[in-house]
Chains A and B, each alone.
Chain A
Amino acid sequence: MQRWVYITPLLIAIGLGAVLFTALGKDPTKLETARLHDPLPAFSLPALLDKSHTLTEQDLKGELALLNVWATWCPSCQVEHEYLNELSSRGVNIIGLNYKDERVAATRWLTKLGNPYKFIIYDEQGRLGFDLGVYGAPETYLIDKQGTVRYRHVGVVNHQVWQGIFMPLIEKYQLNN
C-alpha cells in the first residue's frame, strides 16, 4: 500500500509529461478549421480577371480542388507562389481566392509572377473569407468534388506540406468519391 502512495504521483507526472510532450513543436497560431467537413459557404462574387463573370459555390463542385487564399499585401504568398505554379503545371487543380485585395494590383501581380489558378474569386470585402474562417494569408483549403471542405492549411504550401499533408488527403478524398 505504502509503495503505491509514492508511485502514483510519479506515474501521473510521467503521464502528464508524455501528453504535454506531444504538443511540443505544434504551432499554436495554426488553428484547425471550424468548417471541417462542412459544405463550402454559399457566395456570389465576381471573378478577378473577368468582372462580368459571377462565381458561386457551385463552381467549386465536380472536381477535387485546392482553394488558395492569397493577396498582394501578403509577403508569404509571394514566397509560396512559385510552388503553386509548379503544382499547377503538373495538373493540380488550384482555385484562387483573392482576399481583401485590390483588383488592379492583383492582376498585375499575376501577370508578373504567373497564374496557377483555374479561376480566381475576387473577395474584395473578405466576406467569403470570413464565412470560411480565414484569419490570415496564405491559407489553402482542400475542397472535394461535392464542394465539402476537407482540410485547411495555415501558412505556405511547399514541397513538405504538399507531400506530407495534401497528397495523402487527396488520395483519400479522390477515392471516396
Chain B
Amino acid sequence: MNKILRFLILILFVNLPVSASIDLYEFKDEETRGRYTKLTKELRCPKCQNQDIADSNSPISSDMRREVHRLLLEGKEDSEVVDFMVERFGEFVSYKPKVHSSTYLLWYGPWLLVFIGALFIGLLIRSRSVSNAKESDQALEANNKKNVEELLSQYSKENHKDK
C-alpha cells in the first residue's frame, strides 16, 4: 500500500508542467525578461509544426532563442526582433503574420465566408416568407370565395323560400 501511494505521488510530480528548454539567460531587468518570454511564445519554430520557440527542443529553436536574447540585450524593439526572424525564416515564424497581399486570404477569407453564408440565409428567409405570404394570400382568397359562395347560396335559398 505504501509503495502504491509513493508511486502515485511520484507520478503527480512528473505531471507538473515543465519548460522544455532550460536556457539560463540573464536579463538586466524583469521587463526585458518579460519581453523575452512573450516574444519566444509568439515566434514559431520553423522545423516543428505548430510549436513556439519557447516550447520546442529543436536546435533551430534554441538558436532562435539565443538570438532573441542577444537582440534584446542590444536594445532592439519587439517588432525589430520579429522582423529579424521573418527576414530569415519567412512569415511562417510569426504567429501574427503581417497583412500583406499574400495573406489577405488568410485574414479576410473567413469573414468573406461568414458574409456569404449570412447573405444566403437572409435570401432564403426572404424567399420563404414571400412564398408564405403567397400561400396565406391564396388561403385568404379561397376563404373569401367560400364565404361569398355561402352568402350567395343562403341568399338564393331565402329568395326561393320567399317566393
Binding site for B on A (CB under 8 A): 1-2, 5, 8-9, 12, 28-29, 31-35, 100, 126, 130-136
> Given A31-B46, A31-B92, A135-B47: A100 and B59 within 8 A (CB)?
yes
Contact of B116 among A8, A131, A135 (CB under 8 A): A8
CA distance A87 to B92 in the complex (A): 32
B15 CB contacts on chain A under 8 angstroms: none
* Residue B123 CB within 8 A of the other chain: yes
Q: How far is the CB of B51 from chain A (nearest CB, A)?
A: 12
Contact assessment for A31 and B89 in the assembled complex, using a CB-CB cutoff below 8 Å: yes
B117 CB contacts on chain A under 8 angstroms: 9
Closest to B61 in A: A135
The 7 closest A-B pairs by CB, nearest first: A34-B90, A135-B46, A133-B88, A135-B60, A5-B123, A135-B47, A133-B89
Number of interface residues of B (CB under 8 A): 21
Contact assessment for B116 and A34 in the assembled complex, using a CB-CB cutoff below 8 Å: no
Closest to B46 in A: A135
Contact assessment for A130 and B87 in the assembled complex, using a CB-CB cutoff below 8 Å: no
Closest to B116 in A: A12
Contact of A33 among B47, B90, B123 (CB under 8 A): B90
Main secondary structure of the interface of A (DSSP, over half): loop
With A31-B46, A34-B88 known, 7 other A-B pairs at CB within 8 A are A8-B116, A9-B116, A9-B117, A34-B89, A34-B90, A130-B67, A133-B90
Among B49, B60, B86, B117, the one with the most A-chain Cβ atoms within 10 Å of its Cβ is B60
Within 8 A of A (CB), among B90-119: 90-92, 113, 116-117
B60 CB contacts on chain A under 8 angstroms: 134-136
Contact assessment for B124 and A5 in the assembled complex, using a CB-CB cutoff below 8 Å: yes
What are 9 of the A-B contact pairs (CB < 8 Å)?
Answer: A5-B123, A31-B46, A34-B89, A130-B63, A130-B67, A130-B88, A131-B88, A132-B88, A136-B47
Binding site for A on B (CB under 8 A): 46-47, 49, 59-60, 63, 67, 86-92, 113, 116-117, 120, 123-124, 127
Contact assessment for A8 and B49 in the assembled complex, using a CB-CB cutoff below 8 Å: no
Q: How far is the CB of A71 from chain B (nearest CB, A)?
A: 11
Contact assessment for A2 and B87 in the assembled complex, using a CB-CB cutoff below 8 Å: no
Closest to A36 in B: B90
A134 CB contacts on chain B under 8 angstroms: 60
CA distance A119 to B109 in the complex (A): 48
Q: How far is the CB of A31 from chain B (nearest CB, A)?
A: 6
Q: How far is the CB of A163 from chain B (nearest CB, A)?
A: 26
A136 CB contacts on chain B under 8 angstroms: 47, 60
CA distance A126 to B67 in the complex (A): 12
Q: How far is the CB of A174 from chain B (nearest CB, A)?
A: 27
